[in-house]
Structure 1
Amino acid sequence: MLAALRLVARSAGLCFVILGLVTLGAGLAAAQEPLRQEDTFLRIRLDQRDVRLEALIVRPEGAQGRLPLVLITHGKSSSSISMGDLRASSYATVARDFARRGWLAAVVMRRGFGQSDGPYPSSTSCANLNLAPVFNSDADELEAALQALQKRDDVDPARAIAIGESAGGAAVLALARKKPPGLRGIINIAGGLSIDNCVDKSRDALVEVVKGFQQPGAAPQLWIYARNDELFPPGLVDRMRSAALDAGGNVRFVELPETKPRGHLIFRHSQARLAWLREMDASLRAWQLPTWSPAQARQHFAKLGLTTRADVFERYFAAPGEKAMALSRSNKQFRFWYGADTLDRARTGALSDCGKTWRDCVVAFENDRLVLPE
């Protein structure tokens, strides 16, 4: 299911329309740019047993040497059927956004999810509410997966981050407490765990367990939540953050505006990704880790002789793919589409929208590649 999103920025009496597609369904077309995508399995050792975890690896095709590593992990549904239906490829959009920023991105399905070995290792209930074993078990898996990935010839073991959504967001916070070698940052997107029929008690338990995750010298954390997150509302998130800060945690917090249809689903929602990717880029720069270059974007802007605002142009490079930019050479104006299901769709949309105003529109960028004809 696709829905059009229109963002408008105004400067000096001019109107610049940026169109995006909000992707509400899973699944993507095959790669249409120099990214290498590999469906694979990781073999790790847990509890004196070999465990196989489903994984998706995405990296820049032509990159030389060792790349920084991002470990991407998922949330949890209350339905065991939904857990089995989830696939690593469901997160290809996020993995590809990282690969475009120069990372080797690894989506890892924890035990009991997708095609990974089972069973789901631990659970809790209102009668026996203890969240620490749940998240610590997840962290053990993620640490073992991180170690396996750091052995790859194309990975720099000294530059790694972990990002997770929902229960996966809490899992990467638990991973940070373990302080694995090479882990340089944690990104928690709408992280936590909600127990059905036990909301208030489980929220108190979540605050306490997040407080216990904090360790001196652990990797810095970026937390991102939507204002209308139905599972983790602002009051709860404020309590979690205060507990983490009081315990010495290094937490940068960002609250996104209300996101429709559901505030909890910001991880793969294209409009929300436009917002949280920009915040993530700021943290990556603060952590001295790779992302797209504002200086290079400004060079492109100057070379093209554009008359629109530079910050609107730079927003394109932070935006999620698949994306394309079309510009009018004579009028020095541009339009772009982002978050499309295919690059062809993004290219066609950008050209169509640009062509509504100007007659000489050409595609200038496909994702982050300059493809402007000579």
Structure 2
Amino acid sequence: MVAGDGEHLNLAGRVCRPAGDGPSRVVVINHGSPVSASARPRMELTECDAEATQWFTRRGYVVVYALRRGYGDSDGDWAERYGHCSDPDFVRAGLSSARDIGAIVRYALALPYARHDGAVVIGQSAGGWGTIAYASQAPKDVAAFVVMAGGRGGHADGEANENCQPGRLVQAAGRFGATARLPMLWIYALNDSFFDPSLASAMHDAFTRAGGNAQFIQPPPFGDDGHHLFFGDGGPAVWGAPVAAYLARMGATP
């Protein structure tokens, strides 16, 4: 689907188009990473009839999904490792994700039915962390960033609400905030089992203290685990209104 940074890799992708001929604004939605390494090769692309996808296509957006290197049918080795849980490098992991996200955005904006005046970039979990890292690079071809439950290192040792090194994750958020320029929207449900309310708040505080700009929303508990709010059944009923308001403020309408 796209060529990576300095490496020619084919990434498995899916484009979901709205009614009409366009041109339409592109929304690039970036996936998370399964806890089990053995699940990465089996990952599949989100369908065009998924509830989250249709929230955007029914409003006139083109939605683009792609599996980053090392996931599913995409080429390349998995590149998003942060090292041992006792000494994680969350900055490196985020920037590795951002490399592929940037390539996907460039591909999406070149589609003949896409508007070329700025993509909307959304990421969930590890994809959300990569989205924060990508925002730190201040890309000129992005109109808005939405982070849904973004982070890394959650479920350490298989335990809910345990992170490898929460202090390192907070520090990394500050690193990214120092160079991010575009206002963002961050959404973390109160019952997120990967990034609990105190950790999510600390990440946001570090990001904004360093110079980043992000609206921070913590919706009420969602289902059994709010980490799955974005793609979960009924999720758009929770996040749809704040996302729509943010996109309108950013001038990122279809």
Q: Same fold (TM over 0.5)?
A: yes
Larger Rg: 1
State the Cα distance separating 1:90 from its structure 2 match. Answer: 4.8
Task: Give SS of 2:12's match.
Answer: strand
Distance 2:194 2:163 in 1: 11
Matching residue of 2:188: 225
Cα distance, 1:101 vs structure 2: 1.3
After superposition, the Cα gap between the structure-2 partners of 1:260 and 1:69, relative to the gap in structure 1 and judged at 3 Å, is: same
Are the equivalent residues in 2 in contact too, given 1:69–1:156 (CA < 8 A)?
Answer: yes
Say which of 77, 95, 106 aligns to 2:53. Answer: 95
Report matched runs for 1:233-312 at 5 Å.
233-290=196-253
What secondary structure sits across from 1:116 in the alignment?
Answer: coil
Partner Cα distance (2:73, 2:164) in 1: 33
| Contact 1:158–1:181 under 8 Å retained in 2 | no
1:111 and 2:69 are equivalent in the alignment: yes
Say whether the 8 Å CA contact 2:15–2:62 is kept in structure 1: yes
- Equivalent residue, structure 1, for 2:170: 207
Whether the 8 Å contact between 2:13 and 2:67 is mirrored in structure 1 is yes
Tell me which residue corresponds to 1:299.
Answer: none
Larger RCO, structures 1/2 (Cα 8 Å, 6+ apart): 2
Shift of 1:70: 0.9
- 2:47 touches 2:53 (CA, 8 Å); kept in 1? no
One-letter amino acid matched to 1:80:
A
Q: Deviations over 1:92-130 (max 9, x none)?
A: 522222111111110111111111113101412124311
CA–CA distance in 1 between the matches of 2:151 and 2:92?
Answer: 14
Q: Is the 8 A contact 2:122 2:128 kept in 1?
A: yes
Residue 268 of structure 1 deviates from its aligned partner by: 1.1
2:26 to 64, 69, 87: 69
Displacement, 1:145? 1.4
8 Å CA contact 2:136–2:180 kept in 1: the answer is: no
Q: 2: distance between equivalents of 1:217 and 1:125?
A: 27
Q: Contact 1:226–1:264 at 8 Å: present in 2 too?
A: yes
- More displaced, 140-149 or 121-130? 121-130
Does residue 132 in structure 1 map to residue 91 in structure 2? Answer: yes
Q: CA deviation at 1:271?
A: 2.5
Given that 1:91 and 1:268 are in contact with CA atoms closer than 8 Å, whether structure 2 keeps it comes out as no
Q: Percent identity?
A: 26
Out of 150, 153, 173, which is 1:194 matched to? 153
The two structures have a TM-score, normalised by structure 1, of 0.63
Partner of 2:7: 49
Residues 226 and 259, structure 1, Cα contact 8 Å, conserved in 2: yes
- Quick one: distance in 1 between partners of 2:21 and 2:57? 10
Instruction: Label 1:217 to 1:76 Cα distance change in 2 as closer, same or farther (>3 A).
Output: closer
- Aligned mates of 2:145, 2:73 — CA distance in 1: 25
The letter of the residue matching 2:146 is: I
1:230 corresponds to which letter in structure 2?
S
Give the conservation status (yes or no) of the 8 Å contact 1:95–1:106: no
Seen in structure 2, the aligned counterparts of structure 1 residues 217 and 116 have a Cα distance that, compared at 3 Å, is closer
**In the TM superposition, what whole-angstrom CA distance separates every residue of 1:287-313 from its partner, at most 9, and x where no partner exists?**
12226xxxxxxxxxxxxxxxxxxxxxx
Taking a change above 3 Å as real, the CA distance of residues 164 and 54 of structure 1, as seen in their structure-2 partners, is same
Q: Deviations over 1:42-63 (max 9, x none)?
A: 12133x3210111110112313
Gap regions ≥5 residues in structure 2: none
1:155 and 2:127 correspond: no
CA RMSD of aligned residues (A): 1.9
- Residues 88 and 201 from structure 1, CA distance in 2 versus in 1: closer, same or farther, beyond 3 angstroms? closer
Structure with greater proportional strand content: 1
Unaligned runs of 5+ in 1: 1-41, 292-374
* Cα offset, 1:216, TM superposition: 5.3
Partners of 1:91 and 1:254 in 2: CA distance: 27
Query: Hey, what's the Cα distance between the residues in 2 that align with 1:104 and 1:95?
Result: 9
